[in-house]
Amino acid sequence: MRTITPYDAIGEALAEEMRRDATVLAFGEGIATKRHDLVAEFGAARVRNTPLAEGIIAGTAAGAAATGLRPVVDLLFAPFLTFSMEEIVNSAGKLRFLSGGQFSFPMVAMAMTGAGWGVGAQHNHNVEAWFVHSPGLKVVMPSTASDFKGLMKSSIRDDNPVLFFLDVALLHTPGEVPDGDHLVPLGKAAIRRPGSDVTLVSYAKTVHGCVAAAETLAAEGISAEVVDLRSLKPWDEEAVLASVRKTGRLVVVHEASRTCGVGAEIAATVAEKAFDALRAPVVRLAGPDAPAASSWVLEQAFVPQADAIAEAARGAVARTLSLATA
């Protein structure tokens, strides 16, 4: 076990997979500049910079994947995925189906997202729900250095296109990473803190807010279970439902805008499949339906913080008690 940053964990994952499989290559916006160690080991043919042209990068990756390669592309900031929607959504995500399985598209598209750098609305826009809604794609958004590495390795080995979202606030936050061939399966959540009174479901940076909120709540006698989704598509429905059936209460937290966000899908699924277990209405805590500010103070206000998460959980417990005495 070592302590490294998610940024370095991604670098390790890329290096290990490129050593393991000669079909893995990496290209994109500044990746050879940022990952000069990879260029030194694998050469410019497998690690190269590209122009700032997201559509061309994604289209090249889809073509490479269709011919048997496993490209990992760096598209920098998530809002500019808009320039690559045709190539990712309409080609990579669908052509495996349209070809009757004759082609597969094992490609990983990395993009940074979220508050933390004060880069403004055109660079900070959490768009993961767009791709969750797109058939044929997988979507991951880790919260720990260990998961950044393990999910990246699993994504590279997957035969489907994977959107790999990097929360910028986490990239340089050190964490423990296991030695060896560390893999984290796509579609499996992690229980970050066990609890029995209320379930907090989240992903990326707001997982850490949920853990902090759970610690505050514990001092008040409220036991909160924290579920880190890690994968948004497929998401671990079984783990969430099991937790809700145990606690009877659910608070879903994410930084992305509330309307039609990932939290809405989770809330709907719980209402459909575990309604009889609910002891209080589901609560969604999310970012506002507004562009992100570049001001640090306003940017942080955009993100659900630990105090707001704790208050939402208290409200769920209090609502239960009031219903019980009504």
Q: Which residues are catalytic?
A: 54, 123
Helix (H, G, I), strand (E, B) or coil at 98: helix
192, 201, 215, 218, 323 from 195: Cα distances, Å: 10, 12, 11, 9, 22
Cβ-in-10-Å burial (0-12, 13-18, 19+) of 69 comes to: middle
Start-end of H helices in the chain: 6-20, 31-34, 36-42, 54-66, 85, 95-98, 128-132, 145-157, 205-218, 237-247, 262-273, 296-302, 306-325
Contact 270, 307 (CB under 8 A): no
